[in-house]
């Protein structure tokens, strides 16, 4: 297969300002557009790929072929009821778009953040509370250790939320420090200060991919139960 430079020269795309390589570990995608027009309408072909990632997508759109007009952006959506199939697909795309050429597979951590056993009190938490806790703990990690993460929120059987996070560009985070900070942020009990966080080190990219599919991308039948759907609507968590 031709390398990116050869493709750029062959297609004559240098003048379009497309970037084929960079040193950014986060999502950086490029798109190539081709339009075809005839008396029936217009066909638009889009090839999108991520620099240094595992993501490539070809998309075909048709305009004026008797199809309904697409809904304009900015329309209001309903309450989030959990991780939908479309949301799962977007989550997996996000992970695949990361530039692995600038990431070290030995510097990836799996983090699970849970709440204490005071279920009655934690049932009062709203979506804004959950998002504030997530923001506080991730900012604390960034200040002390740097890096960035991809996260997922889900409800436990007791209808209390918890977070799964893949944290990149870190070989080590002090588990005792993380337990203490998470407990302070969530106003947890003394017992929670010892068990509120699970921290594991990724061994390789295969392990990261398995964690993505089995943990971040897993949609259980329990997630579709009426109690969880009702609870998700009540807390109004938004993006999960």
Rounded average pLDDT over 26-44: 69
Q: Please count the residues of the chain.
A: 240
Same domain, 42 and 117: no
> Domain of 125?
85-235
The CATH number that applies at residue 42 is 3.30.160
Would residue 146 be called left, alpha or beta, if left means φ above 0 and alpha means ψ between -120 and 50 degrees? left
pTM, two decimal places: 0.71
The CATH number that applies at residue 106 is 3.30.70.1910
Is 94 among the domain residues?
yes
DSSP 212: I
Is 100 among the domain residues?
yes
Is 20 among the domain residues?
yes
What tens digit of pLDDT does each residue of 180-222 get? 999 999 999 999 999 999 999 999 999 998 998 888 888 777 7
* Continuous segment of H or E residues that includes residue 197: strand 197-201
Same domain, 163 and 206: yes
What tens digit of pLDDT does each residue of 53-96 get? 777 777 777 776 555 545 556 556 667 777 788 888 888 888 88
Same domain, 95 and 190: yes
Tell me what pLDDT residue 8 has.
Answer: 43
How many Å apart are CA 233 and CA 81, to the nearest integer? 6
- Least Cα distance to 111 among 83, 149, 142, 160 occurs for 149
- Whether 116 contacts 122, CB under 8 Å: yes
Same domain, 182 and 148: yes
Q: Would you tell me the crossing angle of helices 127-145 and 175-186 to the nearest 10 degrees?
A: 150
Same domain, 94 and 23: no
Q: In which band, very low, low, confident or very high, does the pLDDT at 4 lie, cut at 50, 70 and 90? A: very low
């Amino acid at each position: 297969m031709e390398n990116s430079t050869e493709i750029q020269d062959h297609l004559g795309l240098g003048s379009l300002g497309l970037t084929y390589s960079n040193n950014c570990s986060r999502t950086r995608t490029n798109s190539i557009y081709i339009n075809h027009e005839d008396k029936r309408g217009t066909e638009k072909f889009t090839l999108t790929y991520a620099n240094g990632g595992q993501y490539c997508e070809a998309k075909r759109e048709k305009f004026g072929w008797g199809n309904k007009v697409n809904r304009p952006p900015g329309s209001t959506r309903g309450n989030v009821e959990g991780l939908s199939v479309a949301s799962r697909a977007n989550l997996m795309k996000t992970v695949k778009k990361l530039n692995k050429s600038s990431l070290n597979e030995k510097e990836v951590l799996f983090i699970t953040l849970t709440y204490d056993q005071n279920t009655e009190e934690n049932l009062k938490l709203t979506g804004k509370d959950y998002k504030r806790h997530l923001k506080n703990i991730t900012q604390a990690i960034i200040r002390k250790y740097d890096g960035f993460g991809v996260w997922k929120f889900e409800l436990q059987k007791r209808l209390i939320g918890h977070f799964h996070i893949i944290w990149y560009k870190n070989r080590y985070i002090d588990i005792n420090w993380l337990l203490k900070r998470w407990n302070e942020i969530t106003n947890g009990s003394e017992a929670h200060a010892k068990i509120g966080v699970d921290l594991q080190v990724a061994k390789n990219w295969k392990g990261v991919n398995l964690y993505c599919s089995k943990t971040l991308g897993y949609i259980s039948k329990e997630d579709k139960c009426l109690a969880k759907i009702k609870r998700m609507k009540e807390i109004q968590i938004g993006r999960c």
